[in-house]
Structure 1
Amino acid sequence: MDTESYVLDVVEVVEETADAHSIVLRVPDELAELFSYRPGQFLTVAVPSDQTGIVARCYSLSSAPGDEAGHQITVKRTPDGYASNWICDNLRAGDTLRVLPPSGIFSPKDLDADLLLFGAGSGITPVMSILKTALRRGSGRIVLFYANRDEASVIFRAELQALQEAHPDRFTLVHWLESVQGLPSQDQLARFASYFTSFTAFVCGPGPFMKAATSALKGLEFPRERRHQEKFVSLGGNPFGDVEEMRAAEATIAEADDHEDTDAPALGGPVALEVELDGEHYAFDDYDGDKPVLQFLEDKGVPAPFSCREGNCSACACVVLEGEVRMLHNDVLDEDDLADGIRLACQSLPLTEKLKITYNG
Structure 2
Amino acid sequence: MAHHQGVTCSFGASAGFLKSSCLLAATLTFDFQQSTTSLAAAVISIMTTHTEDSTKKETPSWALGVPTKLIRKVNIIPEAPDHLPVHTLTFAFPDVNHENFTGPAVHHSHVRLDMGDVVKMVIPGYKPKSYSISDLRENEFDVTFKVYPNGRASGFLDRLQVGDHIMSFGKHASRTRNPGAYVGIIVFGVGITEGYPVAKAELAKGTAKVKLLWASRTRADTFWREELQQLQEAYPDNFEMVYLYSRETVEGCLHGRVSPELLKQVFDPPLPQEARFLSVGTKPMMKDVDGMLGLIGYPMPQHHLLPKH
- TM-score over 0.5 (shorter chain): yes
> Partners of 1:140 and 1:204 in 2: how far apart?
19
Task: Give runs of aligned pairs for residues 1-361 of structure 1, distance below 5 A.
Answer: 5-18=65-78, 19-28=85-94, 30-31=96-97, 34-35=107-108, 36-39=110-113, 40-48=116-124, 53-64=125-136, 67-68=137-138, 70-88=140-158, 90-105=159-174, 108=177, 113-179=181-247, 180=249, 181-195=255-269, 197=272, 198-207=274-283, 209-223=285-299, 224-227=301-304, 361=309
Is this contact kept in 1: 2:177–2:305, CA < 8 A? Answer: no
> Partners of 2:176 and 2:203 in 1: how far apart?
14
Q: Which residue of 2 aligns with 1:318?
A: none
Q: 1:228: Cα distance to partner?
A: 5.1
Q: 1:54: Cα distance to partner?
A: 3.8
Q: Which residue of 1 aligns with 2:47?
A: none
Q: 1:214: Cα distance to partner?
A: 1.4
Q: Structure 2 vs 1, CA of residues 92 and 137 (structure 1 numbering), >3 Å: closer, same or farther?
A: farther
> Partners of 1:109 and 1:97 in 2: how far apart?
35
Rg larger in structure: 2
Q: 1:21: Cα distance to partner?
A: 1.2
Q: 1:147: Cα distance to partner?
A: 0.8
Is this contact kept in 2: 1:202–1:228, CA < 8 A? Answer: yes
Letter in 2 for 1:13: K
> Partners of 1:54 and 1:208 in 2: how far apart?
23
> Partners of 2:216 and 2:123 in 1: how far apart?
27
Letter in 2 for 1:152: A
Q: Structure 2 vs 1, CA of residues 30 and 85 (structure 1 numbering), >3 Å: closer, same or farther?
A: closer
Secondary structure of 1:132's partner? helix
Q: Which residue of 1 aligns with 2:14?
A: none
**Structure 2: 5+ residue stretches without partners:** 1-60, 79-84, 99-105, 250-254
Q: Structure 2 vs 1, CA of residues 113 and 14 (structure 1 numbering), >3 Å: closer, same or farther?
A: farther
> Partners of 1:119 and 1:192 in 2: how far apart?
13
> Partners of 2:128 and 2:153 in 1: how far apart?
8
> Partners of 1:212 and 1:10 in 2: how far apart?
36
Q: Structure 2 vs 1, CA of residues 17 and 171 (structure 1 numbering), >3 Å: closer, same or farther?
A: same
Letter in 2 for 1:226: H
- Length-normalised TM-score, structure 1: 0.55
Letter in 1 for 2:151: G
How many residues matched? 224
Letter in 2 for 1:149: R
Structure 1 residue ranges (4+ consecutive) displaced by more than 6 angstroms after TM superposition: none
> Partners of 1:55 and 1:4 in 2: how far apart?
10
Is this contact kept in 1: 2:132–2:194, CA < 8 A? Answer: yes
Superposed CA deviations along residues 223-281 of structure 1, whole A, max 9, x for unmatched, are 5232258xxxxxxxxxxxxxxxxxxxxxxxxxxxxxxxxxxxxxxxxxxxxxxxxxxxx
> Partners of 1:118 and 1:106 in 2: how far apart?
18
Q: 1:85: Cα distance to partner?
A: 2.4
> Partners of 1:3 and 1:58 in 2: how far apart?
12
Q: 1:71: Cα distance to partner?
A: 1.9
- Root-mean-square deviation over aligned CA pairs: 2.8
> Partners of 2:156 and 2:64 in 1: how far apart?
23
Q: Structure 2 vs 1, CA of residues 30 and 99 (structure 1 numbering), >3 Å: closer, same or farther?
A: closer
> Partners of 1:29 and 1:138 in 2: how far apart?
33
Q: Which has the higher helix share?
A: 2
> Partners of 1:184 and 1:37 in 2: how far apart?
30
